[in-house]
């Protein structure tokens, strides 16, 4: 089928104004927050599950690939239309359908921004806990696709722990429900399988989420260090004591510099690292817990630990953390965000090795990450116009993931595999493991039409 016919058929489903195909549109939907690019044939903006189902049935009949897209902020090439085809963008399916405080559930469409729901819940004193730093624009469909994390996921768990069910359009266009509002569901845990499947198995058109009351009290501290390793050691010392803070985030010297130049969060420019530590829960006992954390920081050679005294001071510290990726973007034209996870006890050693990789390739590396989860985000700075640097950055990124895998960790904490890390899957999986995953993909999508070319590397048999 040629493109004009495709556009005509899709226009019948969603209306002419909701099918985009100008050169500018194709360019805009051809990239995401990764380093990859490719062009779709067209973009459709459905308004209901029924429309999504009809689009998918049409694509299935005509063997056209489909890529589901939220805001395109994923960092692994997950929304790159690698084989062209149709991009389904969920910007019109952006309704919060239900907030059920009594049962602590919310139901949303996939195009709702994470922060939009949080703002609505705040009125009731409730919260949806996972908080990707991109929450102003990250959508629930994208969070579902990537099993996204965030600073508060150390204590509360990542997306998969908060998505209880979903309405799903399968690759043949059929609509099913997995999970639901109840706490447990008999049969296979298809919700668990689909969360994090990067749009390769099914497309979520409604999501049932767990919401919880806001904690009674919160305390935010900033521990300042003259050494990255000491900050890393503090992280495992706090957890080893049996304390699980709500967040335990680390920023290194280069990130601090970038943040202070643009956001002025109050991080000291001469520090090698800072830890942003937040505890929450009941008021009773909170001061005692904070004192113990401060002691642990000092035992691990923190040179100072400051506590936010007002909500404004707390917001300022968080603005520094949440704006860190953007701030680092000012240092060089491009950066590659690596996303590897290591056992917390390995943080000091792995951070040293990461910085050695930067020296080896002569590329600056800034670190800002979910230290409590052992989830590293080395940002490798470069200029993509320099072909030599572009080659080196891919090699350096891959080497860092190898270091994580060798340290007993893995190649993604939250950003997914997408296009970027397919070959690195072999750092943690055998060809047999990958073949088992491919069987799952075939069971759902035998024609390989949903986000083809993502997640799974080819296995030589
Ligand atoms: C500055 C910055 C900070 C970030 N911080 C974090 C962080 O703290 N934690 C974190 O985990 N990530 C973070 N990310 C990565 C990214 O924001 C998250 O992965 C986010 O959840 C993606 O949401 P999105 O709407 O942009 O999804 P997209 O990028 O549009 O899509 C992501 C994946 O989900 C699939 N998908 C989209 N919609 C659906 C659907 N309806 N059904 C099924 N699959 C679907 C897509 O096909 C794709 O594979 C950050 C990114 C940036 C740029």
Residues 276 and 367 in one domain: no
For 225, 431, 453, the CA distances from 457, given in Å and listed in that order, are 41, 9, 8
67 Cβ below 6 A of ligand 1: yes
CA distance 352 to 356: 6
Residue 422 maps to a domain: no
How many domains does the chain divide into?
Answer: 4
Whether 361 and 393 map to the same domain: the answer is yes
Q: Residue 461 has what pLDDT?
A: 57
Atom of ligand 1 at shortest range from CA of 454: 49
Q: How many CA atoms lie within 13 A of 121 on its CB side?
A: 28
Instruction: Find how far residue 382's CA is from the centre of its chain.
Output: 22
Index of the ligand 1 atom closest to the CA of residue 451: 47
116: domain range?
96-213
Q: Would you state the pLDDT for residue 183? A: 82
DSSP secondary structure of 69-100: ESSS--SSSTT--TT--EEEE-TT---EEEEE
Last residue of some domain: 89, 113, 144? 89
Atom 2 (ligand 1): residue with closest C-alpha?
134
The answer to whether residue 424 is domain-embedded is no
Output the CA 148–ligand 1 centroid distance in Å: 7
- Residue 404: CB within 6 Å of ligand 1? no
The verdict on the CB of residue 110 being under 6 Å from ligand 1 is yes
Atom of ligand 1 nearest to the CA of 110: 41
Closest residue by Cα to atom 39, ligand 1, is 141
Q: Is there a domain that residue 454 lies in?
A: no
Specify whether 342 is located in the same domain as 263: no
317 and 392, same structural domain?
A: no
Mutate to test the pocket of ligand 1, among 74, 150, 151, 178 (most ligand atoms within 8 A of CB): 74
Are 225 and 196 within one domain?
A: no
Contacts 24+ apart (CB under 8 A), 422-431: 422/454, 422/455, 422/456, 422/457, 423/398, 423/457, 424/398, 425/455, 425/456, 425/457, 426/457, 427/401, 427/402, 431/459, 431/460, 431/461
Q: Looking at residue 307, which CATH number applies to its domain?
A: 3.30.70.2190
Question: Is residue 425 in some structural domain?
Answer: no
How far does residue 233's CA lie from ligand 1's centre (Å)?
Answer: 30
Two tokens, residue 5: 């016919």
Q: Which atom of ligand 1 is found nearest the CA of 68?
A: 47
Please tell me the distance between residue 144's alpha carbon and the centre of ligand 1 in angstroms.
8
Q: Give the pTM.
A: 0.95
Cα–Cα dist 435/439, whole Å: 6
**Residues 242 and 342 grouped into a single domain:** no
Is the CB–ligand 1 distance for residue 413 below 6 Å?
no
Task: Supply the CATH number for residue 176's domain.
Answer: 3.30.465.10
Which of 374, 389, 406 lies at the terminal end of a domain, its last residue?
406
Rg of the chain, C-alpha, whole Å: 22
What is the pLDDT, as a whole number, of residue 247? Answer: 95
Residues (pLDDT < 50) of the chain are none
CA of residue 290 to ligand 1 center, whole Å: 33
Same-domain status, 349 and 297: no
**What is the maximum span of the chain, computed from C-alpha positions, in angstroms?**
69
Mutate to test the pocket of ligand 1, among 36, 48, 87, 141 (most ligand atoms within 8 A of CB): 141
What's the confidence (pLDDT) of residue 394? 95
Ligand 1 contact via 128 beta carbon (within 6 Å): no
């Amino acid at each position: 089928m040629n493109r004009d016919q495709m556009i005509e058929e899709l226009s019948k489903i969603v209306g002419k104004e909701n099918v985009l195909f100008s050169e500018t549109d194709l360019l805009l939907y051809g990239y995401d927050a990764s380093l990859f690019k490719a062009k779709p044939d067209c973009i459709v903006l459905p308004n209901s599950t029924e429309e999504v189902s009809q689009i998918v049935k049409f694509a299935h009949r005509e063997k056209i690939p489909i890529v589901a897209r939220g805001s395109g902020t994923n960092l692994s090439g997950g929304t790159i239309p690698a084989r062209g085809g149709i991009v389904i963008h969920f910007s019109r399916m952006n309704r919060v359908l239900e907030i059920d405080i009594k049962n602590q559930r919310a139901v949303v469409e996939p195009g709702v921004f994470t922060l939009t729901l949080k703002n609505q819940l705040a009125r009731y004193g409730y919260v949806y806990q996972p908080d990707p730093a991109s929450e102003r624009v990250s959508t629930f469909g994208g969070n579902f696709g990537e099993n996204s994390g965030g600073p508060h996921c150390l204590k509360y768990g990542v997306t998969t722990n908060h998505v209880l069910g979903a309405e799903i359009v399968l690759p043949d266009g059929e609509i099913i429900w997995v999970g639901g509002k109840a706490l447990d569901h008999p049969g296979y845990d298809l919700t668990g399988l689909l969360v994090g499947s990067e749009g390769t198995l099914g497309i979520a058109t409604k999501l049932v989420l767990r919401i919880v009351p806001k904690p009674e009290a919160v305390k935010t501290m900033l521990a300042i260090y003259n050494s990255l390793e000491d900050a890393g050691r503090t992280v495992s010392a706090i957890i080893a004591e049996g304390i699980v803070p709500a967040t335990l985030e680390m920023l290194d010297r280069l990130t601090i510099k970038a943040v202070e130049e643009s956001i002025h969060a109050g991080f000291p420019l001469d520090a090698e690292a800072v830890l942003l530590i937040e505890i929450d829960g009941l008021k009773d006992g909170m001061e005692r817990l904070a004192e113990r954390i401060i002691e642990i920081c000092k035992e691990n050679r923190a040179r100072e630990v400051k506590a936010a005294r007002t909500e404004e001071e707390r917001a300022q510290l968080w603005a520094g953390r949440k704006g860190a990726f953007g701030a680092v973007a000012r240092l060089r034209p491009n950066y590659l965000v690596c996303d590897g996870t290591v056992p917390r006890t390995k943080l000091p050693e792995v951070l040293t090795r990461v910085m050695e990789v930067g020296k080896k390739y002569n590329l600056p590396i800034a670190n800002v990450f979910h230290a409590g989860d052992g989830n590293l985000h080395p940002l490798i700075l470069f200029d993509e116009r320099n072909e030599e640097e572009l080659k080196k950055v891919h090699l350096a990124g891959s080497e860092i993931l190898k270091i994580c895998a060798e340290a007993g960790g893995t190649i993604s904490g939250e950003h997914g595999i997408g296009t970027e890390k397919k070959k690195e899957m072999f750092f943690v999986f055998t060809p047999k493991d990958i073949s088992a995953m491919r069987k799952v993909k075939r069971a759902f999508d035998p024609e390989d039409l949903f986000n083809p070319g993502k997640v799974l590397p080819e296995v030589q048999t």
